[in-house]
Amino acid sequence: MGIDTENQEIENNIKKISLNLFKENKVDLIIGYKKGTLPLMAQPIIIDKEEDVDKLVWNNLCYVNLAKYLVPRIPKFVDAEKGNLRVGVVSKGCVGRALIHLASEKQLNLEEIKIIGFSCNGVINRQRIEQEIGQKEIREVFVKDDKIHVKGKDFELSFPYEEYLNELCKVCKVKSPPITAELSDVCVGECQEYSSISDDFNDVSDFELKTAEEKWEYVKNSLDICTRCYACREACPMCYCNLCFVDQNKPVWFGKTTDTSDIMVFHLIRAMHMAGRCVGCGACSSVCPVGIDLYLINRKLEEIVKRRYEFTSGLDPKILPPMMSYEMEESEEFMLEED
């Protein structure tokens, strides 16, 4: 079965499930994707009636993590008489992980949510394609015969689908939204129980072979073009603080310039805040206007958390991430006694 056929089946199932949810009065609204106004992206959409179900789509350009729209809860999802509205969320694996992880941090109530799950077949690395196309205007993008076809006024190119996926999609182990037995009624689509995730993290092995100086130079060169627009923060479902550390002015933790030192502090502190919380959706990299891929930093922290704590984010709403919990029996080999 080709990717285009898979996409059509996924889209049909999403529409069918969404229509049934409205007919059975199980949701007040649904958050999903619609066709974008630009060729290389799909857009989020919120629908609240049956006749709008046909606007829902699925394709390999649906990079936005829809869990972002539930934290903080916006007025659209609250009714003066009903209170919090019941929300259906079109969910690939990383969106489902985000919803479950946010529930573990007490940021949302899964009883108010229906997860419209499906098995994701990956998201296209739009930044890479844009870089290879250059200044030419892209007018159409579609997937057929396991290739990504890109058309413009005077050109037509194709790219191997598997090669031009987001890096995080290539190593993703959670294609369908996770669910636990006690929350089986939350999922109305294709979900899966995961007791644990087996991951060899081979994709970060080359980075591990570098010296400390080489690692620092790699990270510095990757981040040096950052403009501090904070698009990565705004796209991330785990960045929900009312006041971000970069916006504080009492105290001022670091400068707000685009000097290398300020850029590095922002990204590395934010990365530490994401340790044990990142769900691998890649939305941060997909929205970056200068094409920075934060994949390696996030994957390395995921590998450290997995090795030290045997923890994968977004699998069980009852389990807090390691940086938010502590047990007396935990190993403390990182603490060194002075001579």
The angle subtended at Cα 236 by Cα 39 and Cα 262, nearest 5°, is 105
Please give the Cα distance from 224 to 327 (Å, whole number).
Answer: 38
pLDDT at residue number 29: 95
The angle subtended at Cα 31 by Cα 283 and Cα 84, nearest 5°, is 115
pLDDT at residue number 73: 66
pLDDT per position in the chain (339 positions), as tens? 789 999 999 999 999 999 999 999 999 999 999 999 999 999 999 999 999 999 999 999 999 999 999 987 666 678 778 788 899 999 999 999 999 999 999 999 999 999 999 999 999 999 899 999 988 999 999 999 899 999 998 899 999 999 999 999 999 999 999 998 878 889 999 999 987 788 889 999 889 899 999 999 999 999 999 999 999 999 999 999 888 888 888 788 788 888 999 999 999 999 999 999 999 999 999 999 999 999 999 999 999 999 988 999 999 999 888 888 777 676 666 555 544
What is the DSSP code string of 67-112? GGGGTTTPGGGEETTTEEPPEEEEE-HHHHHHHHHHHHTTSS-GGG
Please give the Cα distance from 120 to 144 (Å, whole number).
Answer: 16
Percentage of the chain with pLDDT > 90?
A: 73
As separate numbers, helices (DSSP H) first and strands (DSSP E) second, the chain gives 10, 9
Please give the Cα distance from 292 to 127 (Å, whole number).
Answer: 9
Write the burial class of residue 71 (CB in 10 Å: 0-12 exposed, 13-18 middle, 19+ buried). middle
> Which residues, other chains included, contact 28 with Cβ-Cβ below 8 Å and sequence gap of 6+?
48, 79, 82, 85, 86, 87
Q: Are strands 78-79 and 83-84 parallel, antiparallel or unpaired?
A: antiparallel
- Tokens, residue 15: 């529409």
Q: For residue range 265-298, list pLDDT tens digits in order.
A: 999 999 999 999 999 999 999 999 999 999 999 9
Q: For residue range 213-243, list pLDDT tens digits in order.
A: 999 999 999 999 999 999 999 999 999 988 8
- Tokens, residue 92: 């690939």
pTM: 0.91
Look up residue 137 and give its DSSP letter: P
Task: Give yes or no for a contact between 246 and 230, defined as CB atoms under 8 angstroms apart.
Answer: yes
pLDDT at residue number 339: 46
What per-residue string of b and e applies to 26-48 under the rule 16 or more CB within 10 Å gives b?
ebbbbbbbbebeebbbbebbbbe
pLDDT at residue number 286: 93
Edge to edge, what strands does the sheet with 138-144 contain? 138-144, 147-152, 156-160
Task: Give yes or no for a contact between 318 and 325, defined as CB atoms under 8 angstroms apart.
Answer: no
Please give the Cα distance from 47 to 112 (Å, whole number).
Answer: 16
Q: Which contiguous run of DSSP H or E holds residue 139?
A: strand 138-144
pLDDT at residue number 112: 92
Write the burial class of residue 276 (CB in 10 Å: 0-12 exposed, 13-18 middle, 19+ buried). buried
Please give the Cα distance from 51 to 63 (Å, whole number).
Answer: 25
Task: Give yes or no for a contact between 325 and 207, defined as CB atoms under 8 angstroms apart.
Answer: no
